[in-house]
């Protein structure tokens, strides 16, 4: 029984996987909501200690990369292979740019003695400890997803260049794109909730 | 109800210009959310920030993620997931808000 | 029926032989059997552990093991039974085997992902075994891994919760596969209200698996993170809130109870109409009650936490919601009983086990209401009453449904008929042992004996002795049932395609089914439980069982 590849079915599967990712982060947002309710002033102070400029820059980077990934899907469907490859490469570079920013941001925080179980957080106010605990957890998990997203995009790029992603068959690229947008989606919430709160 | 389409559903292709317009909207909203955060509204900063974030997410979902053109089952199940998430967070507040 | 090769003889993908054709298979039927083998092993391990716990408790003081070992054993019993038997049991074995056939298709939508889920399942089990032998041994936290104990104790909590994390992934991917198969692979002529109820129940379960499992994944990640980095998110001294852990834990683990019971209910909804020779009563009501249980069951998690110190408003709200779950559950019980009314009942082991299910599950459900109402809950919270209640639901419910499913589908899966008489004996012994085992626990609970304790006051000795005695009867019954099923291979009485006179699609293909399930395009009946073509005749294979 040979049947045609059912792209819609594959997409349903991918979306269901994305739902599980959303709920995975959802568990952390439950904690965020409760602790924001409990320690609003510490969340506000903690938010001011984070670097808004890096945060905004990272938001812009992710939004732009999301756009280029979406465009690469358009490009592949139109058979514009070179354009598609260039767009993907640019998106991957954006991903690395995001990680580099994150590295400097975390590095600066750690230099200030703010990291899980650091002396400052252990002896300081409980609200501050919770804020930065959540900050590291959520941005850490998000960063992990960025890395996975980059790997998926690289894989799609390789498949595109070797001719296994084509205008007729681009599910791999499409799904990697969906994953990348999910990473973006989560950041869109993380950014105001941590960097701009109150 | 889901129909069984054995023939390939005609794939909708988004134009670059349309995508660029969405990006412009997203960047604009990012500017707005950063700007608004400097205005002190006390508690109301959070709902405003969340409202803007939800708008941005909706844009990403509908266009970048193509949700606008997907099958009903995907749309419905996505809404279901959001409802579940809101319920999980909301029902926890039956406890923490009244303790 | 024309002579066809079964899926045992032809591999999928084609051309593979020997052990490779199993370990690399894409065939949902072989994967179902591979799950069966693994789950059979785990079930026996956990059953023996349970029996050892009960033996220890049969008399006061130290009987056969020390307190540390006892704590590890009841944790291990819980973890294995929950994560390696009850949650995957029916969906992974019978769901994998029969969902595609009932939908009239040749495999699940993502066959390779299905194989991957099996490997995740095996790795999860392997992790659990490894955590027994390395470091400071298996955790003694109970299967709930409550903080702060699970964060501070130096037993192998991290490895064990990672095992549970991996098993959760496996269960999630199986759910993903089922939902996609349900929507995209269903036979074109099969409408939503023509789908067998077992498949409907798996569909409802799959959504719970998809939307609840990630919460436990992140919770377990948090436990590991707390152990590694001590962030303090659940540590009151550092601003955290330990009750939030319980919220997160039960957000998954209560819906998980419905992951466990819904497929069992689906099995019963298949068996009852077949042996009543009568169309199922209230097909749509059962479909909607499955979805209703899935939804309502996800909203009641905090009823495990009445005495944990959460707000009174929350206690009130969650108590109210808990009572709502009783409605769809009762709809199902009424439908099953109404199906049998004025039916031409034909007794088989599968039906007997289903009847036992209805009785035991009803007791479990009704005592659930005792626990759901706050006043009585506070009296019996964390006593043996709770232990008895959830074993009535999980074992009397899902466990018996599992046995019923084994007896119902055994001829289809292996193509051989088993003998009925030993099955009846085994089933009755199991049920009697079950009642001896758990009814004393209800009484002990009301008398105030706390659960999980290594030792107890003298007034509880009679009850505990009886429970231990019942435990041995119970296990003897299960051994007889399993032995009888295994003996069927030696007797080798071939099973016909439809030994029971059933109507769903899996009975219209040869036993065991061919590799692509259907030799020719299946006929989809207007209604899956239409017995007008079969009448009141006993099934063709039923007589072979009475030999």
Domain positions in chain A are 7-195
Alpha-carbon distance of C361 to C261, in angstroms, equals: 9
Chains touching chain B through at least 3 C-beta pairs below 8 angstroms are: A, C
Residues 6+ apart with CB under 8 A from C239: A35, A39, A125, A126, A127, A129, A130, C232
- Which value, in Å, is the radius of gyration of the alpha carbons in chain A? 19
pTM: 0.94
Which residues does chain B have within 8 Å of residue C298's beta carbon, measured at their own beta carbons? 84, 87
pLDDT tens sequence for chain C (547 residues): 445 788 898 888 888 888 888 999 999 999 999 999 999 999 999 999 999 999 999 999 899 999 989 999 999 999 999 999 999 999 999 999 999 999 999 999 999 999 999 999 999 999 988 888 887 888 888 899 998 899 988 888 999 999 999 999 999 999 999 999 999 999 989 999 999 999 999 999 999 999 999 999 999 999 999 999 989 999 988 889 999 999 999 999 999 999 999 999 999 999 999 999 999 999 999 999 999 999 999 999 999 999 999 999 999 999 999 999 999 999 999 999 999 999 999 999 999 999 999 999 999 999 999 999 999 999 999 999 999 999 999 999 999 999 999 999 999 999 999 999 999 999 999 999 999 999 999 999 999 999 999 999 999 999 999 999 999 999 999 999 999 999 999 988 888 888 998 999 999 999 899 998 888 888 888 888 988 877 777 776 666 666 5
- Which value, in Å, is the radius of gyration of the alpha carbons in chain B? 18
Contact C233 A133 (CB under 8 A): yes
Mutate to test the interface with C, among A12, A20, A42, A106 (most CBs of C within 10 A): A20
Considering CB atoms only, which of A13, A116, A122 is closest to C110?
A: A13
Q: Choose among C357, C303, C390: nearest CA to C78.
A: C390
Tokens standing for C115? Answer: 């194989």
User: Maximum distance among all alpha carbons in chain B?
Assistant: 56
Predicted local distance difference test score (pLDDT) of residue B6: 38
End-to-end CA distance of chain C: 25
Site of tokens 């490895």: C159
Of all residues in chain B, the one with the smallest CA distance to A181 is B65
B37 Cα to chain A: minimum distance (Å): 6
Which CATH fold topology does C20-405 show? Cytochrome C Oxidase; Chain A (1.20.210)
Q: Choose among A189, C329, C104, A45: nearest CA to B50.
A: A189
Site of tokens 């099996």: C118
Residues 6+ apart with CB under 8 A from B44: none
Domain-wise residue ranges, chain C? 20-405
Contact C155, C227 (CB under 8 A): no
- CB count, 10 Å around CB of C464? 21
Which residues does chain B have within 8 Å of residue A27's beta carbon, measured at their own beta carbons? 88
A residues 29..88 contacting B (CB < 8 A): 29-30, 33-34, 36-38, 40, 52, 56, 59-60, 63-64, 66-67, 69-71, 74, 77-78
Note the pLDDT tens digit of each residue in A66-87. Answer: 999 999 999 999 999 999 999 9
Which residues does chain B have within 8 Å of residue C188's beta carbon, measured at their own beta carbons? 4, 6
Q: Choose among A162, B49, A23, B42: nearest CA to C211.
A: A23
Contact A116 C231 (CB under 8 A): yes
Tokens standing for C525? Answer: 């009946």
Contact C501, C539 (CB under 8 A): yes
Local mean pLDDT, 10-residue blocks, chain A (198 residues): 74 96 96 94 90 93 96 93 95 97 94 89 90 95 97 96 90 95 95 88
Contact B96 C311 (CB under 8 A): yes
Hey, which residues does A78 pair with through a beta bridge?
Answer: none
Which residues does chain A have within 8 Å of residue C230's beta carbon, measured at their own beta carbons? 116-117
Site of tokens 């904690």: A31
Contact C311 B99 (CB under 8 A): yes
Contact A196 B61 (CB under 8 A): no
Which residues does chain A have within 8 Å of residue B30's beta carbon, measured at their own beta carbons? 56, 59-60, 63, 191
Site of tokens 């018996």: C400
Alpha helices by DSSP H, C134-196: 149-152, 157-184
Tokens standing for A28? Answer: 């952390």
- Alpha-carbon dihedral angle through residues C13, C18, C23, C26, given to the nearest 10 degrees: 20
Query: A7-195: which CATH architecture?
Result: Up-down Bundle (1.20)
End-to-end CA distance of chain B: 43
Contact B93 A33 (CB under 8 A): yes
């Amino acid at each position: 029984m040979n049947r045609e590849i059912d792209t819609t079915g594959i997409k349903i599967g991918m979306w269901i996987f994305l739902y599980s990712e959303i709920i995975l982060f959802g568990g952390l947002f439950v904690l965020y909501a409760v602790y924001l309710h409990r320690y609003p002033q510490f969340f506000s102070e903690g938010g001011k200690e984070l670097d808004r400029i890096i945060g905004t820059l990272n938001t812009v980077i992710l939004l732009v990369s999301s756009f280029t990934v979406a465009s690469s899907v358009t490009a592949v469907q139109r058979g514009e292979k070179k354009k598609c490859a260039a767009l993907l490469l640019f998106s991957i570079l954006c991903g690395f740019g995001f990680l580099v920013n994150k590295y400097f941001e975390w590095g600066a925080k750690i230099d200030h003695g703010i990291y899980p179980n650091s002396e400052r957080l252990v002896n300081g106010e409980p609200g501050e400890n919770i804020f930065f605990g959540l900050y590291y957890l959520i941005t850490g998990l998000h960063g992990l997803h960025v890395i996975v997203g980059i790997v998926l995009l690289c894989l799609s790029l390789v498949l595109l260049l070797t001719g296994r992603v084509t205008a007729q068959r681009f599910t791999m690229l499409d799904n990697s794109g969906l994953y990348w947008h999910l990473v973006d989606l989560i950041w869109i919430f993380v950014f105001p909730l941590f960097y701009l709160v109150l | 109800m889901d129909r069984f389409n054995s023939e390939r559903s005609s794939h909708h292709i988004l134009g670059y210009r349309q995508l660029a317009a969405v990006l412009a909207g997203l960047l604009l909203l990012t500017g707005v959310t950063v700007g608004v955060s400097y205005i002190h509204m006390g508690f109301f900063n959070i709902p405003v920030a969340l409202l803007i974030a939800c708008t941005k997410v909706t844009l990403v979902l509908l266009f970048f993620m193509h949700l606008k053109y997907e099958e009903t089952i995907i749309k419905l199940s996505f809404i279901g997931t959001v409802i579940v998430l809101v319920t999980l967070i909301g029902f926890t507040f039956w406890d923490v808000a009244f303790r | 029926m024309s002579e066809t090769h079964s899926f045992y003889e032809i591999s999928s993908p084609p051309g593979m032989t020997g052990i490779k054709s199993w370990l690399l298979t894409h065939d949902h039927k072989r994967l179902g059997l591979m799950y069966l083998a693994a789950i059979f092993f785990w079930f026996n391990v956990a059953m023996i552990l349970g029996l050892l716990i009960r033996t220890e408790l049969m008399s006061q003081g130290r009987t056969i093991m020390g307190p540390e070992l006892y704590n590890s054993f009841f944790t291990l019993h819980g973890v294995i039974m929950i994560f390696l038997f009850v949650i995957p049991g029916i969906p992974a074995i019978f769901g994998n085997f029969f969902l595609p056939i009932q939908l009239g298709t040749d495999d699940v939508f993502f066959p390779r992902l299905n194989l991957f889920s099996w490997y995740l399942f095996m790795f999860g089990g392997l992790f659990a075994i490894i955590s027994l032998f390395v470091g400071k041994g298996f955790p003694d936290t109970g299967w709930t891994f409550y903080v702060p104990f699970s964060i501070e104790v130096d037993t192998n909590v991290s490895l064990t919760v990672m095992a549970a994390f991996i098993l959760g992934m496996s269960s999630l991917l199986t759910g993903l596969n089922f939902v996609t198969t349900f929507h995209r692979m269903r036979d074109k002529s099969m409408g939503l209200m023509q789908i067998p109820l077992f498949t409907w129940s798996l569909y409802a379960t799959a959504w719970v698996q998809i939307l609840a499992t990630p919460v436990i994944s992140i919770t377990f990640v948090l436990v590991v993170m707390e152990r590694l980095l001590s962030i303090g998110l659940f540590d009151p001294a550092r601003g955290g809130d330990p009750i939030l852990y319980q919220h997160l834990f039960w957000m998954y683990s209560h819906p998980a109870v419905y992951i466990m019971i819904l497929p069992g209910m689906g099995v019963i909804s298949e068996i009852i109409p077949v042996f009543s020779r009568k169309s199922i009563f209230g097909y749509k009501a059962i479909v909607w009650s499955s979805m209703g249980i899935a939804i309502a069951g996800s909203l009641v998690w905090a009823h495990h936490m009445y005495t944990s110190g959460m707000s009174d408003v929350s206690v009130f709200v969650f108590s109210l919601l808990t009572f709502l779950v009783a409605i769809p559950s009762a709809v199902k019980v009424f439908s099953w009983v109404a199906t049998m009314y004025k039916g031409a009942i034909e007794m088989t082991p599968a039906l007997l086990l289903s009847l036992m299910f209805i009785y035991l599950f009803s007791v479990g459900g009704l005592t659930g209401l005792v626990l759901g109402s706050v006043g009585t809950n506070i009296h019996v919270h964390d006593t043996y009453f709770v232990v008895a209640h959830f074993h009535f639901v999980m074992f009397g419910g899902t466990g018996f449904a599992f046995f019923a499913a084994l007896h119902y589908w055994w001829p289809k899966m292996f193509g051989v008929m088993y003998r009925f008489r030993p099955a009846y004996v085994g089933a009755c012994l199991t049920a009697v042992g079950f009642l001896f085992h758990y009814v004393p626990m209800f009484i002990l609970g009301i008398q105030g004996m706390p659960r999980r304790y290594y030792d107890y006051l003298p007034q509880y000795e009679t009850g505990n002795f009886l429970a231990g005695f019942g435990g041995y009867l119970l296990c003897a019954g299960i051994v007889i049932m399993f032995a009888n099923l295994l003996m069927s291979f030696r007797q080798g009485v071939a099973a016909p395609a439809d030994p029971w006179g059933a109507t769903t699609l899996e009975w219209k293909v040869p036993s065991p089914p061919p590799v692509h399930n259907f030799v020719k395009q299946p006929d989809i009946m207007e209604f899956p439980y239409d017995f007008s073509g079969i009448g009141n005749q006993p099934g063709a294979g039923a007589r072979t069982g009475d030999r």
